[in-house]
Structure 1
Amino acid sequence: MLSFFEASLAQLSIHRVGNKMLDEHYILSDKPLNLQDETLPKLLMQYFLTPFEKINDVYRFTHSSGDLELNELYHFVRLFFEEEIDFHSMSQQITKHLYESSSHPKIKAGEVYVVNFEQVQLEGETLAAIGIFKSETKETYLKIYPEHGAFKVGYEEEAINIHKLDKGCLILKCEQEEGYKVLAIDQTNKQNEAIYWKDDFMQIKIRNDNFHQTGNLMEVCKNFVNEKLDGAFEMERADKIDLLNRSVAYFKEKEVFEVDEFTEEILGNPQAISMFKEYKTNFEEMHDLAIGDTFEISEQAVKKGAKIFKSILKLDKNFHVYIHGKREFIVKGFDEEKGMNFYQLYFEQES
């Protein structure tokens, strides 16, 4: 999770990029913006960095050839970090590359902000960072101001809402050989035209470390129990919850995930074990990622992932039963006289 409590905005260059497919062009500024106003940098920091505070996914730059230098964005940022190119020249090259990547007819024109940040904190490190942001959505704002003992109403068209960042990325100055640590946001497009920001312009993939392997495997477990097991086995809802609870307990208690150990302890049934391993392989292929059969379990990922495991047994609209363990202490039956299902709960103390 990103923190910018001590961060500062060192340099800022603003350009404009149009849609290449629509014969719109790009406009490059001659020099960086000179920020002398004390309030403006604080507003810009809020606009640029606040959306990243809740981002957990960390990416890496990639290239299909395996040669990172062929990734244009990585190349220009590396040149700046190694002081082989000045900041404004880098920002101009990045804008040209974004223009070349804007090849879908629905991509909107907008301003491009390239920012040099100092003392940004991520995963316990204080780092320099390059931020690249694009504003596409403009709004109209009313302005109320006093004049001659009364109030006047005015408006500002084509203004930017500092609480709504359209697109952005942060490239942290660390782990250069692995493709840097990269954070990315695209909040304006969810369709195919949005692919260009992460896939065409940035060419990034999620960092496949222990955090993501743990989180992905927990998602596999949840989906497998909730979606796949029903087709092969008749399972009561309480049995599913018990499986999910034992899965979470495994991740909380173990330091290392072992697929054979996990499936034997949690599933036990040879058919279910085979189905789980096949489901895991299909999940990897579908999401274009690799989850190891053995990896160190991330405690942080377990805390986050455990929230998606629901242990609530909902009975009509009358009762919610929270099952945390001891599956043998809850028994399902059918009352023929009432014509209704029932559960018996066994316990020692009431609180």
Structure 2
Amino acid sequence: MKIALHKIGNKVSNEGCGFSDTELNISDDKKDLLQNYFLGSFKSEETFHFYSDTYLTNNLIFGCVSEIFEDHRNFINSSKNIGNILYNAAENPRVQGGELFVVYFQAENENEVDKIGIFKTEKREPFLKISPNEIDPIEVDKGVSLVRIDKAALIFNQDKETGYVLQVVDNNKNGDLYYWFEDFLKVKQRQDEYYHTQETLSVYKQFITKQLPQEFEITKADQAEFLNKSIEFFKEKEKFDYDEFTNEVLQDETVIESFSNFKSDYEQEMQVSVSEAFDINPSAVKKQSRGFKSIIKLDKNFSIYVHGDRKLIDQGTDEIGKYYKLYFEDEK
């Protein structure tokens, strides 16, 4: 593992940069600690690729990592160039300066590929240094927390022609949503199984919660059923097929036609293509399902969580007002 460490300030505040001319020389145990710290940042299977508004070769970070992959002797100079690009990308005074680590991870076996990591630390967390035998045994200091890194990008040496494969994390946006992803790296999400699963569930949820109530007389309980059935479909199936999904989940031809129109309008407005056949990614389903909570909120008094059979919920009105009637077998 090769490591270059540079200090990058905020350009707007004229903080400047400090570049190292040599690789970081540390003990093996510290290398192991840093490797776990760096690679532990990536929890999601969501992936990205470099892009450019003109030619891919005009993406500056793409050019730097390509130089390193092609010849390891470019490592230090290219890492400095990455630092300069990062410094020039800071057009917001709220972007915090910090340490920039550029790391080269060599593949350990034939099933892996070489990787380049770009990591930035920004926040300083207070910690205690305890020396029981001293007169003043407790000292307060500030440093970088090993719990999670502020900003990270991991570039895999594969699919170069389409902008490589990246994992990207920004845990400290600090008032600037675009600095790391757009201004510095210039990346877009790759249209793989994770993307298609995520996008389809997102479009469907918008249809059920926003469009469907405008076109049809539908209760909150009916919406909850549609949401539950869709998540169950994605959890049970390995592959997504549009016709199979709409026939099993939406069922009604008029509703299916409405969803088809909504999807077409969404694709045109967002300039994307929502695939109608793909392998379902379980990680994307798990993440999206957190937003598919089927909750019926009744004034400020009650909330009904709907997990299953719509037929066990009855809705009506009597002399007192509106009501929901729930049928069940066991009370726990």
- What TM-score, normalized by structure 1, do the two folds share? 0.80
Q: Does the aligned pair in 2 maintain the 1:312–1:323 contact within 8 Å?
A: no
Residues in 1 aligned to 2:264 and 2:10: alpha-carbon distance in whole angstroms:
39
Post-superposition offset of 1:169: 0.8
Is the partner of 1:51 in helix, strand or coil? coil
Residues in 2 aligned to 1:319 and 1:185: alpha-carbon distance in whole angstroms:
35
2:111 is equivalent to residue 128 of structure 1: no
2:263 is equivalent to residue 280 of structure 1: yes
The count of residues paired between Structure 1 and Structure 2 equals 331
Change (3 A) 1:285 1:42: farther
Residues in 1 aligned to 2:67 and 2:224: alpha-carbon distance in whole angstroms:
53
2:152 is equivalent to residue 168 of structure 1: yes
What aligned pairs does 1:142-221 form with structure 2 within 5 A after superposition? 142-147=128-133, 152-157=137-142, 159-189=143-173, 191=175, 193-221=176-204
**Aligned match of 1:30:** 21
Q: Does the aligned pair in 1 maintain the 2:106–2:114 contact within 8 Å?
A: yes
Residues in 2 aligned to 1:88 and 1:130: alpha-carbon distance in whole angstroms:
13
**Aligned match of 2:69:** 81
Q: Does the aligned pair in 2 maintain the 1:313–1:323 contact within 8 Å?
A: no
Post-superposition offset of 1:77: 0.9
Post-superposition offset of 1:283: 4.1
Once the two structures are superposed, residues 211-270 of structure 1 have per-residue CA deviations (whole angstroms, 9 ceiling, x without a partner) of 211221112112221222222222122211222233335445666545456445544556
Q: Which structure's residues are more often strand, by fraction?
A: 1
Once the two structures are superposed, residues 175-210 of structure 1 have per-residue CA deviations (whole angstroms, 9 ceiling, x without a partner) of 22222111111111153x331211021110001112
Code of the aligned partner of 1:99: Y
Residues in 2 aligned to 1:289 and 1:131: alpha-carbon distance in whole angstroms:
29
Code of the aligned partner of 2:31: P
**Aligned match of 2:209:** 226
What aligned pairs does 1:18-97 form with structure 2 within 5 A after superposition? 18-36=9-27, 38-52=28-42, 54-65=43-54, 67-83=55-71, 85-97=73-85
Post-superposition offset of 1:51: 2.1
Q: Does the aligned pair in 2 maintain the 1:335–1:342 contact within 8 Å?
A: no
Post-superposition offset of 1:14: 0.6
Post-superposition offset of 1:131: 0.8
Query: Aligned residues: percent identity?
Result: 32
Change (3 A) 1:292 1:104: same
Residues in 2 aligned to 1:194 and 1:252: alpha-carbon distance in whole angstroms:
32
RMSD: 3.3
- What TM-score, normalized by structure 2, do the two folds share? 0.84
Change (3 A) 1:213 1:190: farther
**Aligned match of 1:341:** 323
Residues in 1 aligned to 2:230 and 2:139: alpha-carbon distance in whole angstroms:
59
Which sections of structure 1, spanning at least 5 residues, go unmatched?
1-9
2:228 is equivalent to residue 245 of structure 1: yes
Post-superposition offset of 1:58: 0.6
2:95 is equivalent to residue 107 of structure 1: yes
Residues in 2 aligned to 1:42 and 1:180: alpha-carbon distance in whole angstroms:
26
Deviates more, 1:238-247 or 1:160-169: 238-247
**Aligned match of 2:273:** 290
Post-superposition offset of 1:171: 0.7
Residues in 2 aligned to 1:255 and 1:12: alpha-carbon distance in whole angstroms:
40
Change (3 A) 1:328 1:176: same
